[in-house]
Structure 1
Amino acid sequence: MGKRRILFLKAVAYSDLNPMIQSYLDRYRNENTELEVRSLKTGPKHLEYQYYQAIAGDGILKEVKRAEKDGFDAVIISCFDDPFLYPSREISQKIVVTAPGEASMHLAAVLGNQFSVIVGRDKWIPQMKENVHRYGLESKLASFRSLGMGVLDFHENEEETVRRMKREIRSAIETDRAEVIILGCSMQFGFYEELQKEFQVPVIDSMVASLKHTEYLLEVQERTGWRFSRQGLYERPPEEEMEEWGIN
């Protein structure tokens, strides 16, 4: 398998941690993967509100199209809510488009009978629950557990973040009967190893899961030709319409 270029697109206009994220993901990428971490140029700094996601949507779609023109083989839309994942696949041509929520939930469904998702705030849960339903995994969901922290808080005081994570993971395992834990925000990166060692269950870092899922899909595509179907859900809009309306 030749070199594969993957764009890790942070779906926010916040790049302070990009060098840290690049270094972190470089530990997990395959040798033939060239990875670039990039943020949106304008927009909100987090996507905790659906209004913010709507504002970011135009930038996400433009970056996906730009990545394909620039020769990337795949784009990861880095937000656990998977914003604009389906529209991005719809307007893509050959590029693989993935996101952390979908990747993590499907992995968790294989690794155990039930999974719990550790979220930052209760506000996030309804939209994430809709995604669980959309991905057909309702029977695999044990619970959502909230830390009472915002996206930008996780790496401000990492000791406090870990303390809250341990509290909620313990409850998820002992009370909710979770067999797998998902850290339900891509910004919760870097914590899973300590937590997994303590609780002795799989603790999925959604950032890493999305990278490995993407590499897997690229290999499957190369070896078998299996790619996103254009029949139904991911049917691409007619090129002539997009050109006529100035939206291509």
Structure 2
Amino acid sequence: MANTRILWINPINVDAYDLPMGEFIDSIRLPGTEVEVISFNGDVPLNNLEYRTFEAMTVADTVRAARYAGEQGFDAAVVGCFYDPALEDAREISGDALVIGPCQASVQLAANLANNFSVIIGQEKWRAQMSECIHAYGYGSRLASMRSIDIAVPDLQKDCEYTAQKIIDAGRLAIEEDKAEALILGCTCTFGLFEEVQRELEVPVIDPIVAAFKAAEFMGSLKRQFQWRPSRQWTSAAPPEELIQSFGLFDQSPPIGNRYLLKEKL
């Protein structure tokens, strides 16, 4: 059987996270999984999607990347931001490729580990949009709280010891005051920190990169074994191909600015 292939989409216009996230993914992937990590080459050097304005600027590129995933035979693609930007839009046009969002994958995993959870967010700005996502996914009743550590996305990896301590402090409050039974780190840029926090707080601490990537691996394997592909009936239907062609929607290649490839492990 051919290897499972996953496209990890960093939906920003700089390549700063491609290598470190790729190396982290390399440390958790199964031997039979191949991965391509990409970012975009947009005109504006967006390095985060903390604001809805920034997110809106990348939606079309994410949709093009999802189309690329289907055309290139990827089993699954991950939109690598905890806001799950353009998730439903990407799913509509991804062909046979499954599309995974870190927020949805994380809350689904948390629901299998605990009766409720808190999300550790970088800034208070994130609260409304992330709460909307969690409620839309049907997990609002399990959300114990959101606790902010007051660190912007570009700064989360600058001093990992400081960030980890801030997460531990916020997580302890979530557990003791909000009665959270599990924690979710509410940004993919917190990668590599969950184990230290989990040892300190002794509750499940979910890294959204791990949750999303493992969901993509798992769903990709189910697709290969049982032919469980995305539905294209009724509300899941993609735009008619003749309309796509008439509008010239995908005449140009997706705006991929950087690629980091992880081939089969020997």
TM-score, structure 1 normalization: 0.96
Structure 1 equivalent of residue 4 of structure 2: 4
Note if contact 2:3-2:34 (Cα within 8 Å) is conserved in structure 1: yes
Task: Return structure 1 stretches of 4+ with deviation > 4 angstroms.
Answer: none
Selected match of 1:132 from 131, 134, 146? 134
Task: Answer yes or no: is 1:180 the counterpart of 2:182.
Answer: yes
Structure 2 equivalent of residue 190 of structure 1: 192
| Deviation at residue 115 of structure 1 after TM alignment | 0.6
Question: Which one scores higher on RCO, CA 8 angstroms, separation ≥ 6?
Answer: 2
Note if contact 2:69-2:94 (Cα within 8 Å) is conserved in structure 1: no
| Deviation at residue 46 of structure 1 after TM alignment | 0.6
Aligned residue type for 1:242:
I
Selected match of 1:204 from 206, 216, 224? 206
Structure 2 equivalent of residue 156 of structure 1: 158
Q: Residues of 2 paired with 1:23 and 1:68: CA distance?
A: 24
| Deviation at residue 96 of structure 1 after TM alignment | 1.2
Q: Residues of 2 paired with 1:117 and 1:38: CA distance?
A: 27
Note if contact 1:80-1:100 (Cα within 8 Å) is conserved in structure 2: yes
Structure 2 equivalent of residue 216 of structure 1: 218
User: Secondary structure of 2:22's match?
Assistant: helix
Structure 2 equivalent of residue 45 of structure 1: 47
RMSD: 1.3
User: Secondary structure of 1:9's match?
Assistant: strand
Q: Residues of 2 paired with 1:151 and 1:14: CA distance?
A: 14
TM-score, structure 2 normalization: 0.90
| Deviation at residue 242 of structure 1 after TM alignment | 1.8
Structure 1, unaligned runs of 5 or more: none
Note if contact 1:86-1:234 (Cα within 8 Å) is conserved in structure 2: no
In terms of mean alpha carbon deviation, does 30-39 or 112-121 score higher? 30-39
Aligned length: 248
Note if contact 2:10-2:80 (Cα within 8 Å) is conserved in structure 1: yes
Q: Residues of 1 paired with 2:176 and 2:58: CA distance?
A: 38
| Deviation at residue 74 of structure 1 after TM alignment | 1.6
Q: Residues of 2 paired with 1:72 and 1:220: CA distance?
A: 14
Aligned residue type for 1:22:
G
User: Secondary structure of 2:192's match?
Assistant: coil
Selected match of 2:123 from 121, 124, 127? 121
Note if contact 1:6-1:73 (Cα within 8 Å) is conserved in structure 2: yes
Task: Answer yes or no: is 1:246 the counterpart of 2:243.
Answer: no
Q: Residues of 2 paired with 1:2 and 1:117: CA distance?
A: 37
Deviations along 1:25-55, one digit per CA (max 9) or x if unpaired, are: 1111111101121111114211011111110
Identity of aligned residues (%): 39
Aligned residue type for 1:132:
I
Note if contact 1:116-1:180 (Cα within 8 Å) is conserved in structure 2: yes
| Deviation at residue 95 of structure 1 after TM alignment | 0.8
| Deviation at residue 215 of structure 1 after TM alignment | 0.8
